[in-house]
Amino acid sequence: MAERISRITAGLGAIAVLGAVTGCGGGTPVAAAKRTGELTVWLTVDAQESWPDLVSEVNARFRKTYPKIKVTVQYQQWTTKNQKIDAALAGRKVPDVVEMGNSETTNYLVNGAFSAVDPAKFDHSKEWLPALRDACQDGGKTYCVPYYVGARVGIYRTDLLAQVGVHQPPRSYPELRTDLDKLKAKFGSADKNFSAFYMPGRYWYAAMAFVKDAGGDIAVRKDGRWHGALSAPRSLAGLTQWKNLLDAYYTGDRSKDNGDEPAVVGQGKVGMFYGNTWEAKAATDSTSGGNPALHGKFATFAFPGPSGKPLPPFLGGSTLAIPAKSGNQDLAQDWIRLFTDRTSQRRLIAADTLPNNTAQLHEVAADGINGPAARAAERGWVTPTAPGWTAVEKSNVLPEMLQDIATGKQSVADAARAADRRIDAVINEH
């Protein structure tokens, strides 16, 4: 996912040729059948590890129209992907399709790195998840195509809840607090290291979900400029709710983040946590630091927010873009069209991944591990689409603010005001 973890549009003439080249009816158009060359696609390792068959199937479908075009798929690591993209964009030879994290795109869009695409050419474009759609837009145009998304949910130990007489996940925030109280009373009284709810202090994706649930924001745009909004009343209310939950049920280190969450949960001293659905499996996988003895003892639920609605999750996902310097813009757009169409989205759903659109969220099995995530995703959010957001993340404004709140170094209001000042200093810079 993107969080594991950015110049003028060109090629519009080539894109216009797409309809004439590919056609929409049966058979292979003569012009397409005679095309030669190579299409280079950069995907992240998620595709290689989790749905390699989908990549092969799409390439086979693409070859039916373009039998003489060689498709080369190269897999990139999230940690080095952007550095390689930046180097390629500075040169003459660029990949034709690149995968981007949805929180990474804005800086590239405002600097003209990608070509515009026509959303009407892609399945379910009117139903694209807003958190992905908005990340692809700038100045009224669309510069990338949503690919897939992941949403956080509540994850709980079914065996521990059963021991306190609870046999279904909480459906409301008061019910959540009642269940956590029961876990704390039974297991926390016997083990001071037991956390009824795991919530490390620097876990900003979780804390900002509470901000969003309260109607607040990280930053807002006004009069053409972005401004930090964490010290606004609603944001403060959300941060306070998060702090109260942490104070009541978390016993661990408040100065750490959630990077090792599956390994910590795998130690068996956590009743519930808030995370990606894959972390439920990772907590039982020894290669992730988890405990295989806990296999079958985790289940997911749509985490209820204090507002009475599902807690709005950060939607960490990916988009696909066409570099403006690509010489194969029409081919690139047609490959992306196949890779993101409704058939491909169903393959992603089968791989326990959420689709790029609200229409197919309803195809996710309600009783499967991703059912609660699909429900929560409709309230999902993404980081501000501001030109300087990358600088905000790199400066660790949010984790440091939360650590100050969690450890009592600063009050919620003082820490939020300080964070807003730091955000204002960089969020409008390209």
> DSSP code of 304?
B
- Looking at residue 8, its pLDDT comes to 25
Hey, what's the torsion of the CAs at 385, 390, 391, 393, to 10 degrees? Answer: 100
CA 322 to chain centroid: 20
* pTM of the entire predicted model: 0.84
Closest to 423 in 3D by CA, of 221, 211, 223, 213: 221
Residue 20 above 70 pLDDT? no
Q: Is the Cβ–Cβ distance between 205 and 221 less than 8 Å?
A: no
> Tens digits of per-residue pLDDT, 284-343?
999 989 999 999 999 999 999 999 999 999 998 999 999 999 999 999 999 999 999 999
C-alpha span between 330 and 56 (Å, rounded): 20
What tokens appear for 373 in the block? 């995530």
How is 289-341 classified by DSSP, letter by letter? T--GGGTT-EEEE-PBPTTSSBPPPBEEEEEEE-BTT-S-HHHHHHHHHHHTS
Q: What is the pLDDT of residue 172?
A: 97
Over the stretch 49-87, which tens digit does the pLDDT of each residue have?
A: 999 999 999 999 999 999 999 999 999 999 999 999 999
Parallel, antiparallel or unpaired: strands 144-157 and 298-301: antiparallel
Q: Is 214 exposed, middle or buried (0-12, 13-18, 19+ CB in 10 A)?
A: buried
The torsion angles phi and psi of 401, rounded to 5 degrees, stand at -60, -45
Domains of the chain: 12-150+315-377 (3.40.190.10), 152-314+384-426 (3.40.190.10)
Neighbours of 186 (CB within 10 A): 16
Give yes or no for a contact between 152 and 206, defined as CB atoms under 8 angstroms apart.
yes
In this predicted structure, the answer to whether residue 228 has a pLDDT above a threshold of 50 is: yes
- Which tops the pLDDT comparison, 377 or 18? 377
The pairing of strands 270-276 and 144-157 is antiparallel
What whole-number distance in Å separates Cα of residue 54 and Cα of residue 72? 15
State the Rg of the chain over Cα: 23
> Percent of the chain scored above 90 by pLDDT?
83
Q: How far is CA 65 from CA 55, 62, 283, 309, 335, in A?
A: 16, 6, 44, 46, 10
Q: Which residues on adjacent β-strands are paired with residue 11?
A: none
Instruction: Please give the pLDDT value at position 2.
Output: 47
Asked if residue 99 has pLDDT above 80, the reply is: yes
Question: Tell me, what DSSP letter sits at residue 305?
Answer: P
CA–CA distance, 277 with 325 (Å, rounded to integer): 37
